[in-house]
Homo-oligomer: A and B are copies of this chain.
């Protein structure tokens, strides 16, 4: 994280045409690379490195993505990576944009609400397919071309919503935020279940999930743990309201929830957004 090229005050020589030189990460993100003039042709490339890193993350999780492992995967020395990527942080940033390469298909005739729902679900699905996405420390991540494409798609869905650009941005931001939250809850619940199954089976913590009984994972209920813990350590005097609420509870409803907790969150947020849009006069009253 040293690597700050300039010694002294960061002053760019005002030499060439483009003033203001964007940060190197941003340039790399947008494929803005100066053409090479001398030296051996590069055999490696940032794209290949990123692809290898993603395959590693898919297979073994983000923790397995170390510079050494990635280098091994592409068949080079660890230090070779640094010719194409400024460091691990940049590699992760490139991954976080590359993961958003595929745009979802959204039905052409969808109105704003159906469109945004499809958009949100697609993004949640993507996160569940590549859970390591949620482990990326995405702080201070500049926007890359793929993420912006998703944004553009959302703006397209809201084509007929009469709202200033910055408010549309806030709407998209809120949905994106919900996506991450929802996905995180699911992924973490799943991980907890896997963890528990491993523990119960007495297997080491690095046993890959593929060697575990899927049925057992599915059956591992985090709420049951919660109840056990409360039962052991707490009582109505310590947590009166929780106990009161659960005392008058007849058990889970007959219609199993299944994936519907995702639907719950989305519908609440969209209902809230609809109220907001109506209040702002951004949609016609009969819309949706």
Structural contact, A6 and B149, CB atoms closer than 8 A: no
Given contacts A145-B233, A152-B241, A261 and B170 within 8 Å (CB-CB): yes
User: Which residues of B are found within 8 Å of A273, using beta-carbon distances?
Assistant: 268, 272
- A9 at interface, CB cutoff 8 A: yes
> Is B202 a contact partner of A2 (Cβ separation < 8 A)?
yes
In the complex, whether A77 has a CB less than 8 A from a CB of chain B is no
Contacts A268-B272, A271-B276 given; indicate if A224 touches B180 (C-beta within 8 A). Answer: no
For A233, list chain B residues within 8 Å (CB): 30, 32, 145
Contact B205 A170 (CB under 8 A): no
> Is A10's CB under 8 angstroms from B272's CB?
no
Query: How many angstroms from the CA of A238 to the CA of B153 in the assembled complex?
Result: 11
Question: Mask for A101-117, Cβ within 8 A of B = 1, else 0?
Answer: 00000000000000000
Interface size on A, residues (CB 8 A): 95
Docked Cα-Cα span, A262 to B155, in Å, equals 22
Q: Does A37 contact B (CB under 8 A)?
A: no
A185 in complex: contacting residue of B145, B173, B268, CB < 8 Å: B173
| Supplied contacts A2-B199, A10-B200, 6 more A-B pairs, CB within 8 Å | A4-B200, A139-B187, A149-B239, A177-B181, A271-B271, A272-B272
Task: Give A contacts to B, CB under 8 Å.
Answer: 1-2, 4-6, 8-11, 18, 20, 22-23, 26, 30, 32, 135, 137-143, 145, 148-149, 151-153, 155-156, 158-159, 164-166, 168, 170, 173-174, 177-178, 180-182, 184-185, 187-188, 191-192, 195, 199-202, 204-206, 216, 224-226, 228-230, 232-234, 238-242, 244-246, 248-250, 252-253, 261, 264-265, 267-273, 275-276
